[in-house]
Each structure stands twice: as C-alpha cells, then as structure tokens.
C-alpha cells in the first residue's frame, strides 16, 4: 500500500511538471517584457549579437513547503530551450537543492517576475560536494548558466542563504562556499533587473564568457551573527571578453567589481558601491606558470563609500607568499594595460587610489628583492572627488611598485580628494611618471606602519 502511494505521488508530481510547461499556452500567460537597458555612455567596443524574440512560453510551478523545485525548473528549461521564455511566476518562492548544469542553453529567456524568490538550500554538506568547481581560487558555483543568447530578467530575487555559510566559514576557512550567480561559458546575454541576496561568497562569477551585459542589479546581504560575510565580491570576471556591468547598487564586504586574469574589453559604469574593497584589477600573478592579462578596461562614474579603496590594482610579487591559509601565491607573469578610472566620488574610503605589486607579502623588503613578473602600464586615473577615512591619515593613496621597470606610464590627474584633516599625501615607491599633481612621500610606508595591509 505504501509503495503504491509513493508511485502515485511521483506520478502526480511528474504530471504537474508537464502541465506547468503547458499552462502558458492554456492561459496565454504573457512574460515580462525585456528591459533592454541601453549601454551608455561607454561601450566596450564590439557590438552585442542580436537576440531574436522568443516564440513559446513555459511556466515553472513551485512545489511549495521548501521542497526542491530543481526537477520542475530543469524540465521547463529543456522544454523551452531554443526559442522560448521560462517564467517563474511572481509571489511564488522556489527552492533549489540540486546543482544545475545549464551550459546547454540557446536562445532562451528566463523571467523571474517581481516579488518572486529563488532560494538555495542550507545543505552545506551537499553543496560542498556537488557545487561546480572552477579551479581558480577554489571557486564553486550553485549552478552554471551558459550557452548562446541567454537573457535573465524580471525583478525577482536570487537568495544564497548565506548566513549558514558565514557561520561555517568562521569555523573552517577551507570550506568551499558557492558563488550565487555563475555565468560560465555564456556567449551573448543580458542579466537585468534582479536582486542578489546573501551569497555565501562572491555574488557573481563571469568566466569564459563573451558579450554579456549586467544592468540594474541590486546586491545586498550581510551577516546577522558575530561572523562576518567575507569575500562577497559583487562581480569577478575571469577569462572573459566584451562585458558590461552598469547601473547597479552593491552593498557588500569585498571588491565591488574585480577583474581577474584574462579579463579584456570591459566597461563598468554608473555603480553605487558601499562597504567594499573598491573597483579592483586583480589579484593577478598568483600562480607560477600562468600568464595573466587585464587589458582595455574602462571604469566610469562610480560612487564609493565606506570602503577600503576606490581604484585598486593588486599584483602578487615574484616570490611565493601567503595572504591567508586559503589564499596564497605569487610568481606568475603577465600584464595590466590600458586601464582607465574616470570619475569617482568618495566618502570615508581608506585609500582613494592603491597600486601594489606586493599583494599578499607582508615584508616590503623581501617583495623588492623579488619584483613582480607582471607589468603595469598605460593606466589613467582621473576626476576623483571626496574624502578618505582617517585610517591612514595623512595618506590618501598608496602607489608602491616592486620595481620601476615593471610599473610605468601611470597617469594620475584631477584628483580633488582630501583626508579628514585636509592632506592629499600619497605613499610612493618604485613608481615613475605619475605627474606633478601627485604629492608623494617616499618609502611606501602606510601612515607609519611598514607592514602591508592584507585585504
């Protein structure tokens, strides 16, 4: 009797999943219209490929009561792949407890309507074993969204259930914490009008992707316990080209945006960042034998408050070092070139500008003995206004390279930033050509502290 009941239950669920994909046709459900936020005022260069209109619609229905909706979601996506909309209805909460490999997508829109939520389960044991592993810095993701011509929008919320991870990480720094949104091998797509909440680690990883736009993304989430939410970068780009991140609000605890190895032709514009570690190039040069490039980056019109940095370029030294137990490296090679930071308003930011080739190395003398194998050149930082915090008074910036031979053509101009007491002094070392507007003190010390700041 019990077995027949289970079979009947399974049959009902399968029937419900099939019916959900037909419901759109039966009820003539009309998905939310694509937002199509214009890419402005700057564009990364290459135009984005066209995204044709979709011709069919599938609706995902929640099982309710916090049970896993992954099977329903996957079926709807497969039914509407190659030309359709998948609609997650408003006012419904969806639960994902299964790692979903969605790298097969083609010409599909995923629509999470306003007030609806997709939340990942708290099963940390499952996710550590089954989340998708991406090698670089031991990054893992709850899911992989990839393929060609994929749009995600609608105003809904993606929730990573981060608190359980913040508390677990405080006990064991070697756990693998999943990233909330993984654009992995995505070629052509727009991610727009969404809320990202409580990611266990980085909020967004864009890896091995091209021609992707993020617009009007609201990122927020912190810990409610004594254990902080760490490493919660807003975006990390990695081995990706022709990416736009714009018109978004980020309230987090690490880099607002970070350009990881082999990020090229990227525009970041019109962001409000609070509580972060700035807009960062790097870290780069972490792995021996790897060649890291970051080229053709334009960062424009940023509001940066309560942060460790405004503009930041961070490169590992030529010798191995350990930043922390779960983050160590150095000795890699490559180049940072043609990077522009244009227009930033600062409020209570520790350093307006920071350039270091000694990332992760506490001993500056040792770092200078093993200069970085990665060059920094053709950098423009301009039109900054506002105030720093008092943390490194009287310094407002830190510009220290490991050798002037690997750090050149750095232009810093029109910087109207002061410390709380009115200073505009920079710590400078092994760096040439930064212009007369930069008021330097030699030695590379940090407000009297010779140790590198490890953040």
**Which H or E element spans position 294?**
strand 291-315
Buried/exposed code over 285-309 (b: 16+ C-beta within 10 A; e: otherwise): bbbeebebbbbbbbbbbbbbbebbb
Query: H or E stretch including 410?
Result: strand 407-418
Taking the C-alpha atoms of residue 158 and residue 168, their distance in angstroms, rounded to an integer, is 21
Residue position matching structure tokens 């654009």: 183
Encoded tokens for 377: 């050149």
- DSSP-derived letter for residue 116 is -
How many other β-carbons are positioned within 10 Å of the β-carbon of residue 321? 21
Sequence-separated (6 or more) residues with CB below 8 Å from residue 397: 351, 352, 353, 354, 417, 426, 427, 438
- DSSP code per residue over 72-86: HHHHHHHHHTTTEEE
The three-state secondary structure class of 24 is helix
Q: Using the CB atoms, write b or e for 44-76: b if 16+ within 10 Å.
A: beeebeebeebeebbbbbbbeeeeebbebbbbb
- Catalytically active residues are 277
Tell me whether the omega of the peptide bond preceding residue 41 falls within 30 degrees of 0, making it cis: yes
Element (H, E) at 418: strand 407-418
The residue count for the chain = 455
């Amino acid at each position: 009797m019990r077995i027949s009941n289970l079979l009947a239950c399974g049959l009902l669920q399968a029937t419900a999943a099939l019916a959900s994909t037909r419901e759109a046709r039966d009820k003539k459900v009309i998905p939310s219209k694509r937002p199509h936020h214009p890419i402005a005022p700057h564009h990364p260069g290459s135009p984005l490929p066209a995204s044709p209109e979709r011709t069919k619609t599938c609706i995902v229905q929640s099982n309710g009561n916090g049970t896993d909706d992954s099977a329903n979601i996957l079926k709807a996506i497969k039914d509407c792949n190659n030309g359709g909309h998948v609609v997650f209805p408003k006012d419904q909460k969806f639960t994902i407890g299964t790692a979903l490999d969605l790298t097969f997508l083609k010409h599909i829109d995923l629509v999470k309507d306003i007030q609806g939520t997709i939340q990942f389960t708290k099963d940390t044991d499952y996710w550590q074993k089954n989340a998708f592993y991406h090698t670089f810095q031991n990054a893992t993701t709850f899911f992989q969204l990839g393929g060609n011509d994929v749009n995600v929008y609608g105003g809904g919320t993606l929730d990573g259930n981060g608190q359980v991870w913040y508390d677990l990480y405080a006990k064991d720094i070697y756990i693998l914490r999943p990233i909330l949104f993984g654009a992995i091998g995505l070629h052509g797509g727009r991610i727009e009008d969404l809320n990202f909440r409580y990611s266990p680690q980085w909020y967004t990883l864009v890896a091995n992707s091209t021609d992707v736009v993020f617009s009007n993304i609201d990122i927020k989430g912190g810990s409610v316990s004594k254990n902080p939410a760490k490493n919660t970068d807003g975006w990390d780009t990695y081995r990706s080209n022709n990416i736009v991140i714009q018109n978004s609000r980020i309230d987090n605890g690490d880099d607002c945006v970070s350009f990881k190895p082999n990020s090229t032709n990227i525009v970041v514009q019109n962001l409000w960042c609070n509580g972060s570690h700035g807009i960062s190039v790097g870290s780069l040069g972490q792995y021996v034998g790897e060649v890291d490039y970051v080229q053709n980056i334009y960062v424009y019109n940023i509001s940066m408050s309560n942060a460790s940095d405004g503009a930041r370029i961070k490169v590992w030294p030529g010798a191995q070092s350990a930043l922390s137990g779960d983050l160590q490296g150095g000795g890699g090679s490559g180049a940072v070139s043609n990077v522009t930071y244009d227009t930033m308003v600062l409020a209570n930011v520790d350093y307006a500008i920071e350039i270091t080739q000694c990332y992760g190395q506490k001993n500056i003398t040792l770092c200078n003995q093993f200069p970085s194998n990665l060059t920094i050149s053709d950098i423009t930082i301009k039109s900054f206004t506002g105030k720093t915090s008092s943390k490194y008074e009287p310094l407002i910036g830190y510009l220290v390279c490991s050798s002037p031979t690997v750090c050149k053509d750095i232009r810093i101009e029109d910087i109207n930033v002061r410390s709380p007491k009115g200073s505009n002094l920079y710590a400078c070392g092994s760096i040439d050509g930064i212009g007369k507007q930069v008021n330097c003190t030699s030695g590379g010390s940090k407000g009297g502290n010779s140790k590198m700041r490890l953040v």
